[in-house]
Structure 1
Amino acid sequence: MSVREQPPVQGRAAGPVLLVLALSLVVTTLSLLQSLVVPVLDRIAAQLDVSPSAAGWVLTANLLAAAVLTPVLGRLGDLKGERPVIIGILVTVAVGTVLAIATESLPLLLLARVLQGASYGLFPLSISVLRRELPERRLGMGMSVVSSTLGVGGVAGLVATGLLAGDDADYRRPFWIGLGITVVALVLAVRLLPRRPVTASGGVDWWGAAVLGAGLSLLLLFVSQGNAWGWSSAPTLGCLAGAVVVLSGWTVLQRRLAAPLVRPAMLADRRTIVPNVVGLLTGVAMFASFLAVLQYVQSPTGITGYGFDATVLEATVVYLLPGGVVGILLAPFAGSVVTRFGGLPTLLVGWTFGLAGFVLLTWFRSEPWAVIAAGLLTQVAVTVAYAALPSLVVQAVHEDETGVANAINSIARSVGQALGSAVAVTLIAAHLDPGTGLPRDVAFTLVGAVGIGAAVAILVAALLGLRADSRAARQRRPDPLTEVEEAVAGAGEWSPVSGIR
């Protein structure tokens, strides 16, 4: 159903600009809460008197909840309407954030992070709202601006932590920023999100959702806990094997259902495979960059021979904030480029910058300006990627699948972020200096090389997608002579010499 054919809005609708701004803040809630704990995991371990591996579950619990909840929430939005589901998610996230602020117990903090994991459903639902409400000429830019806030919000979360949790302050302080953003987003959602009659039909495939959640949880456990458990340990390999078996079984289950959670044909469609692969690799590159920059610039130069002795505040404000500011300024421009030239060409341009950024980080990081420039270039690539991905997904699926399709893409990015974190942590831990207990410089070269590999793979995926699109367009193009013959067929017998008899 096109925008012009939508059922009438019940009540006064917000204008396009106001709606995009409101949904941008809604999506910022997700990325902000996701990243603000990253710089203070060691402080959580110290202040709650738990091991660093136990504190790592603060990230893992959030990702596991996202894996289970995001597809269901996306499908519920398609079936029940986005507005009530978004409001319900924001209320749940607010409760979880209050619990995170109030608790002094790791189990309760993990419960809070599970509740906050519902926020991952906000992005696919926001894209669904935009697809229903915006005219086609504004849809591309609207989706790009809202999607770009995922990368910008991630930087904002790190900066907020640097500002509020510096000098060994209580790790709970940054959650106050998260609570404030969540409450403001909730107020805007209640006031501005339109009430539309639901047009989609069917139900939620709860069995499919449960099996998918179990398979993704096993996969995320393998990725996020492999370094702590040991990559060759029985639990790690068991999670990997279990993920392969469960996700394979889920695919078989979806093929046998009349109304599956996700159409198998949608997952196998080349038009959705490309953005999902790009989302995964973008997540890998983004978090590898974040962790490498944060640890590198905070390293004591006198002991390690590298680094800049930066505090947590300096690391986030000086080295990461410029990229976040550039992302905010770039988002509308990236949206217009996606609208005019398409998602795949935009990805090629954006990740050319990203490749240059990782080259700087890998081989030219000895000066502060080079690290800042690397952060700027990689943030440009992430912003452009997040601007292009929803457009590519929306073009590939039916309107009543917008929520669940973007939910799958969101999960791909989350898995990529977990994988990027795990790879960076593993490489750094594998290259510790026995004398100082700090990583050797080569560890950051290897992390940068991972980013280079991810950037190259994204460029290759975009080129392959463009080639396939060009081939498909040629196959659809009709023969000009056939068009002329059809046009005059009703007028009588046609002769190529004299025309119409």
Structure 2
Amino acid sequence: MRSQAVSTTGRAFRPRTQRESCEMSLLSMDRRVVGNKRTSLVLSLGMATVVVSMMQTLTVPILPIIQRDLHAAPAAVGWVTTVTLLAAAVCTPLLTRLGDQRGKRRVLIGVLVAAVVGSVVATVTSSLPLLLVSRALQGSSTAIFPLALSILRDELPPTRLPTAMAAVSSTLAVGSGLALAAAGVLTQGENPDYHRVFLFSAVLCTLALVAVTLVVPPSSQVAGGRIDWIGAAVLACVLVLILLPLSQANTWGWGSVPTLASFGAAIVAGGFWVVFEKHRRDALVDMKMLTLRPVVLTNLAGILLGFGMFTQYIGISTFVQAPAHLAGYGFTASTVRASVEFLLPGAVASLVTGQVAGIFIRRFGARIPLAVGACSGVLGFTGLAFLHDTPASVIAAGLLTGIAVSCGFATLPIFIAAGVPALQNGIANGVNSIARSTGSSVASAVVITLLTSGTLPDLPGESATLATESQYVTIFLLGAGAFACVAVIAMFGLPTGASRPGGPGRPRRPRRSARSRDR
């Protein structure tokens, strides 16, 4: 008798028929196609997310050039940055809620179109009012990031979600570094032209628009309902009343009547908005969702993360550009060198860290990567405060702070996704984006105040505004303190079960027993 091969389970092997082989081949092909579509989705949304952070830092190196070419006062040119921040605050909550109600893909494409139009207008205009209009259109791009995260949650399976969110989130830091480096390189020479920088942003926004249009599928989950226009308008007023005095405090004065009146009006308007939203059937923001402990702590961590990120950018950039022969510190670096040599390595480290963080989030949850990243930020800022005598030490410290920022961007959306229903994910991430923007505004105001309040004596001309070295030590220690608070929130405040391998905010698929697998 001819013996028959037996498997380890005691059953005889049966050779596959031609039909079964074809079915297996088609199934394998389908899996490859699905995998390619998911990769394309993450790449296209990552490209769109680069636009967000790029718009926030794009004009920082070119403000003096804009002031010279447009013959504008420093206070007027400062609005080129301020109007973008205010537009982001006004548009992000409304646009993310529209994404939840009307479809995220549709709103995302509309936001990218606005960013393209704003970039094109800025490229061709030499009028300050039109430039401000274009920057307001670019400011609406802040809504891209929360919309992208919501699309990922709708389209990807739970096991792929943490890695994809981390990958897309890490591109935020890349966009900031890319914008600073590109602005420095494109404005080199004897006659620098700021229009080249906006042309660069127009090209990048157009590429992102094409990628999103071709790759992102229509929204699979739409909440519907009416739009709370009144709630959106009141919230916009509250945010403007908070962010405007923060951005103008060094011009108005922290104790001036406009600053104090704006903060007081923000408190009154905020109280009215909370009461109004509690009684709305189709509220812009669900107050119960907003007061959940994970959401509150995640937004607080977002404020601290934004503070640390902007402290890093402004602190390192101004420190390394200080003339060493006059100040006794710094490296007399040009704008290009400051961007490429000192800031770009941290941005690259953020991109790499985002990929690694996604793997750790899938295995261990989001708390550990957030806490480890925050500790890296503490080490980095402490090194900047006390070990800043050589370029290598500053670059190394920048790498550590870049890792911290990337871990924060990668993990905070995971806690949001785990804590809110899918149909509220867009507005929840939008609020978290506004929290980060608020932290960045506070950092900008605090850093500028410190740099202008303690200057070196007996210096000639423009050098008379150079800050003392101790002011930079204070700035970097404030950054370390911000990340230390993030570490405390991660370890003792946020839930331990967020983003287990089953996926954030979704039930795990039950494991099958060995007996059922053999059937």
Fold conserved between structures, TM > 0.5: yes
Determine helix, strand or coil for the equivalent of 1:15: helix
Partners of 1:60 and 1:441 lie apart in 2 by 28
Sequence identity (%)? 41
Match of 2:487 in 1: 459
Alignment correspondent of 1:3: none
Mapped partners of 1:197, 1:379: distance in 2: 35
Could you tell me which residue of structure 2 aligns to residue 383 of structure 1?
406
Which runs of 5 or more structure 1 residues have no equivalent in the other structure?
1-11, 471-501
| Whole-angstrom distance in 1 between the partners of 2:185 and 2:370 | 33
- Residue of structure 1 in register with 2:283 after alignment: 260
Aligned to 2:349: 326
Does structure 1 residue 189 correspond to structure 2 residue 212?
Answer: yes
1:198 deviates by 4.8
Say whether 1:158 aligns with 2:180.
yes
Q: For 1:448-499, what per-residue CA distance to the aligned partner results, in whole angstroms no more than 9, with x for missing partners?
A: 1110111111112112224x658xxxxxxxxxxxxxxxxxxxxxxxxxxxxx
Deviates more, 1:137-146 or 1:163-172: 163-172
Unaligned runs of 5+ in 2: 1-33, 498-519
Question: Any runs of at least 4 consecutive aligned residues in structure 1 with deviations exceeding 3 A, and if so which?
Answer: 196-199
Does residue 1:240 correspond to 2:263, yes or no?
yes
Which SS does the other structure have where 2:71 is aligned?
A: coil
Counterpart in 2 of 1:336?
359
Please list, as runs of the form range in 1=range in 2, the aligned pairs for 1:168-183 lying within 5 A after superposition: 169-183=192-206
TM-score, normalised with respect to structure 2:
0.86
CA contact (8 A) 1:203 1:259 kept: yes
1:225 partner letter: Q
- Give how far 1:105 is off: 1.5
Pair 1:440 & 2:468 matched: yes
Q: 1:220 aligns with which of 243, 256, 272?
A: 243
Q: CA deviation at 1:171?
A: 2.1
Question: Would you say the 8 A contact 2:154–2:219 is kept in 1?
Answer: no
Question: Is residue 2:449 matched to residue 1:426?
Answer: yes
1:123 and 2:151 correspond: no
CA separation in 2, counterparts of 1:342 and 1:172? 45
Residue 44 of structure 1 deviates from its aligned partner by 1.9
- Secondary structure of residue in 2 paired with 1:320: helix
Contact 1:94/1:183 (8 A) holds in 2:
yes
Distance of 2:330 and 2:424 partners within structure 1: 47
Query: How far 1:155 sits from its partner (Å)?
Result: 1.1
C-alpha separation in 2, matches of 1:341 and 1:244: 40
Q: Normalising by structure 1, report the TM-score.
A: 0.89
Query: CA contact under 8 A between 1:65 and 1:117: conserved in structure 2?
Result: yes
Counterpart selection for 1:271 from 294, 312, 325: 294
Is 2:85–2:437's contact at 8 Å kept on the other side of the alignment? yes
- 1:402-444, CA deviations, whole angstroms, 9 ceiling, x for partnerless residues? 1100000000011111111111111101112242211111121
Please state how far the C-alpha of 1:46 moved relative to its aligned partner: 2.2
- Distance in 1 separating the partners of 2:471 and 2:427: 38
8 A Cα contact 2:298 2:412, kept in partner: yes
> Equivalences for 1:45-444 in 2 at 5 Å?
45-167=67-189, 169-196=192-219, 198-436=221-459, 437=464, 438-444=466-472
Maintained 8 Å contact 2:154/2:220:
no
Moved more, 254-263 or 430-439: 430-439
Which of the pair has more CA radius of gyration? 2
Match of 1:499 in 2: none
- Kindly indicate whether the alpha-carbon contact (under 8 Å) linking 2:162 and 2:362 is maintained by their aligned counterparts in 1: yes
RMSD in angstroms over aligned alpha carbons? 1.6
Partner of 1:486: none
Distance 1:418 1:305 in 2: 29
